[in-house]
Structure 1
């Protein structure tokens, strides 16, 4: 069994896999890390590997606490990935984005793939049908958009995510909801339209914490899976083992 851990900017996601089958998913706060891993390993004592992708600020030592119980692997830029990295600054490409690109490459072979990860930031990552990673885009996620309007203006309130009643906001709150949610959806659909115009044999993978919310609102047909990064971690780790 493999325990995969995704350390994001705000939360930690984890999952236990038996080969390609997900046995259970977990979400918890960073301060709960050691306690939660202990509970997971108690529930799944046959876990032999702990695989980590981190963009958050948790020290490696917290994971190395479990080295005596199982093999610990942190994905880095030095690992083997199933795509050719054509990014102009490859060492600056986030490990989470690399794992997502690897998962898309392995799960959807010989296709053009666009991975959209809607979390604290929204990232777009494109891998062509020849397994070349070409790049993508980064912009603020839903929560950051609400927070920035509140933090960088004098009077706009701090709102939480809400479906706007109309694209025409008839109050300050509704105008903000319309701007954030509709603007977000228009952005994603616009990017997808650009890729569709230039590439055929195309699949779109939508993941991240806001994936389910967005999937119902996008005009384009997508493959939505909020746990795609955890699944990609497991797949990429198996790929690494097979190709080391």
Structure 2
């Protein structure tokens, strides 16, 4: 493990908050250990944070990474009780951002990449986040962020088939019984789920052709569902973004 992560010692608790496109995920950290996790809707933000702060009164910092439609003011109401920290493009990250349009790179992708660098030092890393969108982020062994890909996630694929056709039903995710769907519903499940799996394995194999060895990290809301279906060996961690947010904040403190 990176010596940075071994040596950093927090004397107080941190509340990490990930504002996604769909929901909010948060976790209370102490010494890099998750004490408790929470998932809630955006309209529950202030109520839920009040409950968390009341329960964990040693929390000193609230750390936010947001790609969703919540304003900073919604968090600043807690400023009298704890320090509010928004991760932004202006912060220092443990990699060189070689994205052609660096300011358009999502904060969630930057945090995931920072976590990959800090937790898996001196190696090539591919981070796959299977959420509302599926994002692929590649950071080489020299800590250069090279870019990746974005595609629709599982839920978006089901919804698009329903919303942009006249008669296809809206289904929820289900493991296909066979890759040959013998009904409309089964064909949709096969197309969506197998399509995502083949996409991921295809991208991974493309990276393998150019990079002989790298670590593959799979996370996101659909990560657990997809992990056992992939042919390639991966490191699956549904909490990787929250853990990366905690480590990114620690890195920021150390380098301020």
Whether 1:160 aligns to 2:172 is: yes
* Structure-2 residue corresponding to 1:34: 46
Task: Map 1:46-85 onto structure 2 (within 5 A).
Answer: 46-85=58-97
Local SS of the residue matching 1:122: strand
Number of positions where the alignment pairs a residue of Structure 1 with one of Structure 2: 244
Q: Pick the aligned partner of 2:99 from 87, 93, 106.
A: 87
* Structure-2 residue corresponding to 1:3: 15
Q: Pick the aligned partner of 2:145 from 117, 126, 133.
A: 133
Local SS of the residue matching 2:217: strand
Task: Map 1:139-150 onto structure 2 (within 5 A).
Answer: 139-150=151-162
Give unpaired runs (5+ residues) of structure 1: none
* Structure-2 residue corresponding to 1:240: 252
Local SS of the residue matching 2:50: helix
TM-score after normalising by structure 2: 0.95
Please state how far the C-alpha of 1:201 moved relative to its aligned partner: 2.9
Please state how far the C-alpha of 1:216 moved relative to its aligned partner: 1.0
User: Deviating runs (4+, > 4 A) in structure 1?
Assistant: none
Please state how far the C-alpha of 1:59 moved relative to its aligned partner: 1.1
Per-residue Cα deviation, 1:29-69 (whole angstroms, up to 9, x for no partner)? 00110000011111100000000000000111110011011
Whether 1:198 aligns to 2:231 is: no
Whole-angstrom CA distance in 2 between matches of 1:93 and 1:202: 22
Task: Report if the CA contact (8 A) 1:112-1:200 is conserved.
Answer: no
Local SS of the residue matching 1:48: strand
Local SS of the residue matching 1:136: strand
TM-score after normalising by structure 1: 0.99
Please state how far the C-alpha of 1:19 moved relative to its aligned partner: 2.0
